[in-house]
Amino acid sequence: MGHGILRAGTETFDQEAWHNRVMPELLNDDAIHAYQIRMSEELRMLDLARVNDPVLKRLLDMGCFDWKSPNSISGPGNGIAYLAVVASRLLPRLLEVEDKVRHLAVQPPFSD
C-alpha cells in the first residue's frame, strides 16, 4: 500500500505522540487552534464527573470550540482559548495528584 493511504481497520494511532505533539511548524495562532482541536477530544475522553468544580467545567467549555454544532462559526478569542488549553493540560495532572493524596489519606498510619 502506498505512503499516506489508509485502509479502514489497519491504521495505528499513537495516542501519546498525538497528545505530546508540539507542532513547532505552526504560527502561534494556528498552534492554539490545533491545540483547541486536541483539547476538545481530550476533554471528551476525560472523566469530567471527577471534577467537582462546575465553574472550572464551564470555563473549559467556554474555551473549547464547539466542533459538533453546525451553527458554530467562531470560537473563543485567542486569550481565552490559550488559557483553556493550558487548563486542560493541567487538569489530568491535578486529578492524578488528587487520587494519590486520597489514596494516601486512607492508608493506615505507620506502626512500629
What DSSP state is assigned to residue 28? H
**24 in a domain, yes or no?**
yes
* pTM of the full structure: 0.61
Query: Which pLDDT tens digit goes with each residue over 65-78?
Result: 666 666 655 566 77
Percent of the chain scoring above 70 in pLDDT: 75
Above 70 in pLDDT, residue 7? no
**52 in a domain, yes or no?**
yes
Alpha-carbon distance values, 77 to 4, 14, 41, 54 (Å): 34, 30, 19, 22
Which domain, by its residues, includes 24? 15-105
- In the chain, the number of structural domains is 1
Q: How far apart are CA 110 and CA 104, in angstroms?
A: 12
**45 in a domain, yes or no?**
yes
Q: What is the largest CA-CA distance in the chain?
A: 66
Residue 1's pLDDT band (boundaries 50, 70, 90)? very low
**111 in a domain, yes or no?**
no
